[in-house]
Structure 1
Amino acid sequence: MESKEMLPDGIDESDEVYEHHRFVADSGQGLLRIDKFLVNRIENASRNKIQEAALAGCILVNDQPVKSNYKVKPNDVISVVMSYPPREIEIIPEDIPLNIVYEDDWLIVINKPPGLVVHPGYGNYTGTLVNALAWHFKDQEWFNADDPRPGLVHRIDKDTSGLLVVAKTETAKMKLALQFFEKTSTRTYQALVWGTPDPAEGTIEGHIGRSLKDRKQMTVFPQGEYGKAAITHYRTLEQLGYVSLVECRLETGRTHQIRAHFKYLGHPLFNDERYGGHQILKGTTFSKYKQFVENCFQLLPRQALHAKTLGFTHPDSGAYMEFNTDLPLDMAQAIEKWRAYIVGRDLE
């Protein structure tokens, strides 16, 4: 909609949406398709771009997403929302420790801890990964302090841990971004989910778009009437009674893709508050069991999701590189508690 850079393939995994434009139709407004209505009111916006925005659920009328053929009526309140804030944000370098897995002249691979926001946005203008990168790169000639997303090729949610690659040059950024867009990069995650997926290995397909009821939640639209196509391949690594450890391989990179897909499958991620996994969904009614799960929630106070491996072709050498990380302590400890619980239950 505006002359801002968009990450490829919908890889904009942020939790918030921001209003960029707002219009109120006149009381005498005649019926007019919303794409025609907006193309005459937003500078440099093509009708095709507006139609794509509507398909992604970014065009709201009276706070509800509409399709591009919606007819604007008198007094309609029309909003255009995006996953990034409308104003430019000053990037302040901050000395925040980075867990650097690999670094050379073209890129840096980082193991992001849970709780760290990737880039500044509403409510998080400091203390982000981008602020940490600005500090790390501040003495480099190529670093542009005015770039709100220096080198970002993809993102992961605040409370998801794991691997991210950041480009150091425009050429590296372009080549890496193209790999994500063309689905030639490799990304696998591990997640702890409620229940036992059946079948134990499979593929989840279904368009993902913002919920028609809750703009902060993503929903699977199996008929593809909203959102964008999303594909997640999974296999069960370990059954732990009432939860399972699964491996997920992303073919696409939609917002909250794994979280939304597993809720759709009927197996929300363990302690994923936004998608209902923070409640006891499987198990017994015994108070001892309830206390055990609450202890696990306290040990792992976030969705149980970790970006474990990341592979791509190096933008300069052309060599394939793949990185692997251990599960973070909170997730590893929660899994161990479930293993111990299963052993104890079997011995009773």
Structure 2
Amino acid sequence: MPGDINSFFFTLGGAEANENAIKAARLYTGRHKILSRYRSYHGATHAAMQMTGDPRRWANEPGASGFIRVMDPIPYDFSFGTTDAERTANHLRYLEEVIQYEGPHTIAAMFVETVIGTNGIQPPPEGWLAGLRALLDKYGILLVCDEVMCGFGRTGKLFAFEHFGAQPDILTMAKGLTSSYVPLGAMGVTDKIAAHFRDNVFWGGLTYNAHPFCLAVAEAVLDVMLEEDMVGNAARMQHVMLAEMAALKARHPSVRDFRAIGLFGAIELQKDRQGTRMAPYNGSHPAIDRMMAFFKQEGLFTISHWWTLMCNPPLSITEAELREGFAIIDRGLAITDEAVEG
């Protein structure tokens, strides 16, 4: 692990890792409130769902107390600026004002997906994570990075926060830890937090947490991941992914935008040349549904989320296989092109 994240509490998945991170942050700081972002997903268990910003939260409300959600530096519609420098400066100023309103002495931690996952595969603006780290330090608020989706090589580094010049106090992880062969998640904490819990009880625990079989599978998966340089492969394939996406945007009027970091990417779809999203917030579009059916028929397995097509292939993928996948996407986008108005 980078930095001084050297102590771990093992769970059965990412949501449980986040649940225990909430407990750890509250016990360590003696504070109750948790900040998170609207453009986020942190898991389907009770407290993790209250941190979540996307509409999967709605059916679980009202929930536990103490969860404060803020806009992301790159929201869906509202803008904090047109450059990374503007977005970073304006968002951190906005966030500091929210902290003042809530009372810094009441806030235990802020949870962020280092690179946003299902809500659009969105890396933070340049300088934002380091700026957030400094802002939270100013008020004694912990930074928790949720890397359940973006961790373990997905972005071209072992952990996504390594791209952005800041280390969290707590890191949560799952998925790639065992490549989903068996259930396992983990909460990693820095040495200062670990020292606190050597002297104070950590009120967490699950019947099956730290199960030796699951841990053995994790060790085997990580051995292969490192021995076969899958993290390096994700980094090397980034330029292929971006080039293929750029070619799709040039050819297809239904492509609104695209982005990728490592093998973590997304293509946004539009229904007109003015950039109107093809599907509404928390909705879909018949053309997207038909396109996804075409992909399945062609042997390409991925998901769409509202107006976004996810491009997150296995870290072991070859350049030829990656281009083969994008060739199928190229053919499938003819379906959404037909739905573009004007």
- For normalisation by structure 2, the TM-score amounts to 0.30
Larger radius of gyration: 1
Structure with bigger helix share is 2
Structure with bigger strand share is 1
- For normalisation by structure 1, the TM-score amounts to 0.30
